Chain A
């Protein structure tokens, strides 16, 4: 049997990254990285739940369907199976993660007119607040998965020391 990495453990990494910053010069990078780990903990867990036989892929052409799954397909599946607020939380985490990884500028409010580059991402003015929200969203999403019976949750809880 293949020893498969449990991506849920990324959530623990996110929590540890959150408490690492000790100076203002690097803290934002830690918080942004933690947001990414928080998202990927859920991506892996939900992919395992909904597409257990498929691997990650960013679609770039035809002919790959049925073998790979991207971020968009996963979120559509979570919404399709009727998990309303769970799907919304995953969407929020997707947006936080993309802003953390790709957008170096602050988001604009819809009423504002600013020169590009700009975005309207769900990103607060304090980067640590964004990090805290991302981790809480990840915890909530993983807890939702536990309620529906996810075998991957056991290993993560053992790493946390919550269950022997």
Chain B
């Protein structure tokens, strides 16, 4: 769990009254929580092995993590009702056809559940969004973008989470493709899935 790297800080979910809010510079409205990064969470699942949905669901929670001060503080804050575990989204832009939209919803909904279990994001506000980017100057340059938005995430953590998001998306993409099979949604998903581009953004 990282809260500070330079002068930026995570923003804890602020939907509930009394929630702790940390802004840039580490100031908070009601209570001070200083956090540092916990154990390494490098994924160990081989890309060559396509796990079942059940295996994938248990993947994140079975990782061995070093207990960190940050995690303890977040647990304490949560026990006081100060924090709310926040998984937002997925939010999918409306410019996809119905089958692709359904398939992307299935894909990103499962993925957001996995992301919600990442140690670094416990109690932290984040959202997962999917949109299509069309180049204004080069016809045919289109991207399907899968964005994990973690407001205030310091750069080092942003890039670290990016590696994990890419890895998880690659694995879960195969799971969903296998699950949807040769249905219309499955075919629509495979059309876009191969070119999905990921990003982790600090806003």
Report A-chain residues with C-beta under 8 Å of the C-beta of B93. 110, 120
Q: Counting CB contacts under 8 A, is A33 at the interface?
A: no
Question: Please, what's the 1-or-0 string for B161-203, where 1 marks a CB less than 8 Å from any CB in chain A?
Answer: 0110010001000000000000000000000000101110111
Bound CA–CA A122/B93 (angstroms): 13
Q: Chain A contact residues: over half helix, strand or loop, or mixed?
A: helix
Bound CA–CA A59/B140 (angstroms): 9
Bound CA–CA A98/B141 (angstroms): 12
Q: Counting CB contacts under 8 A, is A15 at the interface?
A: no
Report B-chain residues with C-beta under 8 Å of the C-beta of A88. 162, 166, 197-199
Would you give the shortest CB distance from B164 to chain A, in whole angstroms? 10
Given contacts A85-B166, A95-B145, contact A120 B137 (CB under 8 A): no
Bound CA–CA A59/B94 (angstroms): 28
Report A-chain residues with C-beta under 8 Å of the C-beta of B145. 91, 95, 120, 122
Inter-chain contact A98/B135, CB cutoff 8 Å: yes
Inter-chain contact B91/A91, CB cutoff 8 Å: no
B interface with A by C-beta (< 8 Å):
91-94, 129-133, 135-141, 143, 145, 147, 155, 159, 162-163, 166, 170, 195, 197-199, 201-203
